[in-house]
Amino acid sequence: MPIHFVNVKLDAFIVMTNQCMGTYVLFANHHYLTLKPNLALIEEKEVNTMELMKAIGSRRSIRFFKPWKPVEEWKIQMMLQAARYASCQGNCGSTEAIVIDKRIYPKEKFEQIIECASPFNEIHLRQAPVVIAWLLNLDAWYKELVQSFAVLFPSRAISAAHGWTYKLLTEVTYPRLMSFPRERTEALLRIEAGQAIANAFLVATDLGLGCCLLATGRKPTEFPKVLGTPDNVVPIWLMAVGYALESPAQRPRKRFDRLFHLNEYGNPLKEDSEVKEELKRRKMIQPMDPLPGREEEIKHICRMFGLTEAMPDMPKEHIKALYNEDSPYYGELPSGLEDKGV
Ligand SMILES: Cc1cc2nc3c(=O)[nH]c(=O)nc-3n(C[C@H](O)[C@H](O)[C@H](O)COP(=O)(O)O)c2cc1C
């Protein structure tokens, strides 16, 4: 497989042993490595794309991965490009990421990351071959926003007809935005990050990868130090990426009419059953877990890895309450769950 080293700037020489398809960029300790791939080698079957609606319906949080199956670098590249093309305020481009390739990431450092992650996330981190640390960069707001916003003028995204002038941007809007305290800006930029991550997640689904977002609540102040991010960069979420070892079905969602309101809050927007049927046809709405065999699948995987097979459940009366009319899940859950519970 031809791989051309285009630009190598590393303290240590890194040998890429397995098949590298797709331009590869790894950010770690400010080193970077770029491989120019032969994109023609990406097999057609792997770029056969899903319908968007099917990808939305097929996305799952994956919690068991095939640790032995590496993720192609070009797939990670596509996920990152999808994140880059997400919409963001003033075109600010505040979402960044560190791609952690466990084949070459220092083991001791990865153990420190695991210690920062919530304990219930350890198994995902150990099994997934790639972990993406999603970040937001406050400099994109406080230092670069005027530029990234202004580029929308010559690119003809905004014009005077939309109420924008360069004078308004620089003399009115910009000073107001710059006056926001760090917490407010951080809260705003988490929305951009959410959009970017969601794009990347859908592309991963499209490419046959599984992902799960992972909280790092165990040592929140330690986490940026372990990653080595500067003060203006806020690590927000880890994402395990790999090939799914499990094949879960869709998870329950709250009723449509409890989430969406017509004209005023509290006036339920009724769910259109014909639309719902069409979305089933397009596979955005899919059969819900637990499908037959799901529990056996989890138990089998647990046996493979020497993990506990226990299935902790809710108390029976809490499960029953989900079926009551006042429950946000009323009419949404498969029958038979009442038999479960403790
Ligand atoms: C911001 C965010 C953080 C999450 N954090 C975790 C986490 O720390 N660990 C985990 O196992 N799942 C985590 N999840 C996954 C959710 O619990 C998941 O959405 C839920 O299981 C529904 O399943 P689905 O994503 O397959 O539809 C997170 C999801 C989001 C959007």
- 79 in a structural domain: yes
Look at residue 232 in the predicted model and tell me its pLDDT.
98
Domain assignment of residue 234, yes or no: yes
At 223, phi and psi to the nearest 5? -55, -50
Looking up tokens 């989890």 gives 298
Whether ligand 1 lies within 6 angstroms of the CB of 45 is answered as: no
Residue 70 within a domain:
yes
Choice from 114, 134, 212, 237 to test ligand 1 binding pocket (greatest atom count within 8 A of CB): 212
Distance separating alpha carbons of residues 64 and 245, to the nearest angstrom: 5
Alpha-carbon distance values, 248 to 21, 93, 159, 287, 297 (Å): 28, 33, 47, 10, 9
Q: What is the CATH number for 133?
A: 3.40.109.10
Q: Which of 50-54, 93-97, 226-230, 303-307 has the lowest mean pLDDT?
A: 50-54
Cα 269 to middle of ligand 1, angstroms: 26
Which of the listed residues 56, 61, 118, 239 should we mutate to test ligand 1's pocket, taking the one with most ligand atoms within 8 A of CB? Answer: 61
The 8-class DSSP code of residue 241 comes to E
| Contact (Cβ atoms closer than 8 angstroms) between residue 158 and residue 164 | yes
pLDDT at 9 over 60: no
> Is it true that the peptide bond before 290 is cis, omega within 30 degrees of 0?
yes
Question: What would the DSSP string read from start to end of 159-184?
Answer: -GGGT--HHHIIIIIHHHHHTS-HHH
Across the range 331-336, mean pLDDT stands at 90
Per-residue pLDDT tens digits for 79-119? 999 999 999 999 999 999 999 999 999 999 999 999 999 99
Shortest CA distance to 105 belongs to which of 133, 82, 136, 69? 133
Q: What is the pLDDT of residue 50?
A: 79
Contact status, residue 143 vs residue 230, Cβ threshold 8 Å: no
16, 22, 36, 115, 176 from 4: Cα distances, Å: 11, 11, 5, 37, 48
Q: What is the pLDDT of residue 171?
A: 95
Is the shortest distance between the CB of 213 and ligand 1 below 6 Å? yes
Domain membership of residue 183 as a residue range? 45-242
pLDDT band of 338, cuts 50, 70, 90:
confident
Do the domain assignments include residue 225?
yes
| Within-domain flag for 102 | yes
| 193 CB within 6 A, ligand 1 | no
Check if the beta carbon of residue 92 is closer than 8 Å to that of residue 144: yes
The answer to whether residue 7 scores a pLDDT higher than 50 is: no
| Residue nearest atom 28 of ligand 1, based on CA coordinates | 213
pLDDT at 46: 57
Q: What residue type is 272 in one-letter code? A: D
Percent of the chain with pLDDT over 90: 80
- Smallest CA-to-CA distance from 227 within 25, 9, 14, 28 is with 28
pLDDT of amino acid 41? 55
Cα dihedral 45/47/52/57 (nearest 10):
60
Strands annotated E in the chain: 4-9, 24-25, 32-36, 95-101, 130-137, 210-214, 233-242
- With a 6 Å cutoff on the Cβ, whether 215 touches ligand 1 is yes
Instruction: Indicate whether 82 belongs to any domain.
Output: yes
In a domain, 95, yes or no: yes
Tokens of 184: 């407010």
121 lines ligand 1 (CB under 6 A): yes
Instruction: Return d(Cα 215, Cα 218) in angstroms, integer.
Output: 8
Euclidean distance between CA atoms 225 and 214, whole angstroms: 18
Among residues 4, 13, 8, 61, which one has the least CA distance to residue 36? 4
Total structural domains within the chain: 1
Average pLDDT, the chain: 88
Find the 62 Cα to ligand 1 centroid distance in Å. 9
Which is nearest to 270 in space by CA: 280, 258, 282, 279? Answer: 258
Evaluate if residue 23 carries a pLDDT over 70.
no
Task: Point out the ligand 1 atom lying closest to the alpha carbon of residue 215.
Answer: 8
Find all residues with CB under 8 Å of 296, minimum gap 6, and list them.
Answer: none
Question: Quick one: which of 192, 94, 191 has its CA closest to 147?
Answer: 94
Distance 99 CA to ligand 1 centre (A): 19
Residue 30: CB atoms within 10 Å: 8
Which ligand 1 atom is the nearest neighbour of the CA of 63? 11
∠4-29-128 over CA atoms, to 5°?
75
Residue 178 placed within a domain? yes
Exposed e or buried b per residue across 18-29, where buried means at least 16 C-beta atoms within 10 angstroms of its C-beta? eebbbbbebebe
